[in-house]
């Protein structure tokens, strides 16, 4: 699918991987519906981009908020062709620590944003895409979801995060099968360590160990532009579907 003159929705758009995707799309002539729970951060990051971007403060776990935002963009711009799910939180906590069990509210919040929120955007985006005219390749839309290397290599304290990201990988194939007859592709990306807000709070010893002991090459964290470049390639490459692509410098993560 060509990116120029298309309409995309990006969740988690105010920072990190989501912001990089918004900028990459705008650079390629795509209009963007930018969703994030932090309205102020959205304005700071994308407020100067003009009328080719619509900013909406949305909790992706809220069915009503996602539907209103997507319906509004479709009414304003006439279509929706691309959806990229980048909204997510870590929620680190051990299953049992000093006699205290993992808080159930925290578990539900991580699953609610990372997994349920992803599916929430998928289903409303798919509904909007279903009425698009077919492209020359027979496409109506492309959905890209953000999983994580933690889905396979979860570390201490990542039970909820890893479970949520494994769920994102797990839903990729059946949703792609559900939507294939409509001409909608679904692909997941599993990023490793990237320079984003999630990694910014790492202790120096943890950071150094992550870089020098886990990443084969190029011996650094990934850049958000490398992630957004892969997203753009997925949209443009019609033969990518129903799969999860790792982008992690060959990282193999230890227990901690």
Q: Which residues are catalytic?
A: 161
Terminal C-alpha separation, the chain: 40
Q: Is 33 exposed, middle or buried (0-12, 13-18, 19+ CB in 10 A)?
A: buried
Cα–Cα distance list, 147 to 37, 85, 88, 187 (Å):
19, 9, 10, 10
- The Cα 41–Cα 56 span in angstroms is 11
CA angle 21, 114, 209 (to 5 degrees): 75
- The alpha carbon torsion through 130, 67, 110, 9 (nearest 10 deg) reads 60
Distance CA(9)–CA(89), nearest Å, equals 19
Residue 12 near residue 88, CB atoms below 8 Å: yes
Report the distance separating Cα 253 and Cα 175, nearest Å: 29
- Segment (H or E) for 7: strand 7-11
């Amino acid at each position: 699918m060509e990116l120029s003159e298309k309409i995309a929705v990006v969740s988690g758009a105010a920072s990190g991987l989501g912001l990089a995707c918004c900028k990459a799309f705008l650079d390629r002539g795509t209009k963007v519906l930018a969703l994030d729970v932090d309205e102020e951060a959205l304005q700071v990051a994308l407020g100067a981009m003009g009328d080719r971007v619509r900013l909406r403060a949305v909790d992706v776990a809220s069915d009503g908020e996602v539907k209103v935002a997507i319906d509004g963009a479709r009414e304003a711009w006439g279509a929706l062709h691309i959806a990229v799910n980048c909204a997510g939180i870590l929620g680190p906590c051990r299953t049992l620590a000093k006699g205290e069990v993992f808080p159930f509210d925290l578990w539900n919040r991580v699953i609610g944003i990372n997994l349920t929120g992803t599916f929430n955007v998928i289903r409303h985006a798919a509904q909007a895409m279903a009425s698009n005219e077919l492209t020359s390749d027979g496409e109506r839309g492309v959905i890209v979801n953000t999983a994580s290397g933690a889905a396979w290599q979860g570390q201490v304290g990542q039970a909820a995060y890893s479970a949520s990201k494994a769920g994102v990988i797990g839903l990729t194939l059946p949703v792609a099968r559900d939507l294939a007859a409509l001409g909608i592709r679904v692909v997941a990306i599993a990023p490793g360590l990237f320079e984003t807000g999630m990694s910014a709070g790492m202790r120096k010893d943890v950071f150094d160990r992550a870089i020098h002991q886990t990443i084969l090459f190029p011996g650094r964290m990934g850049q958000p532009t490398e992630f957004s470049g892969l997203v753009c390639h997925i949209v443009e490459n019609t033969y990518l579907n129903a799969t999860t692509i790792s982008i992690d410098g060959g990282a193999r993560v230890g227990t901690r």
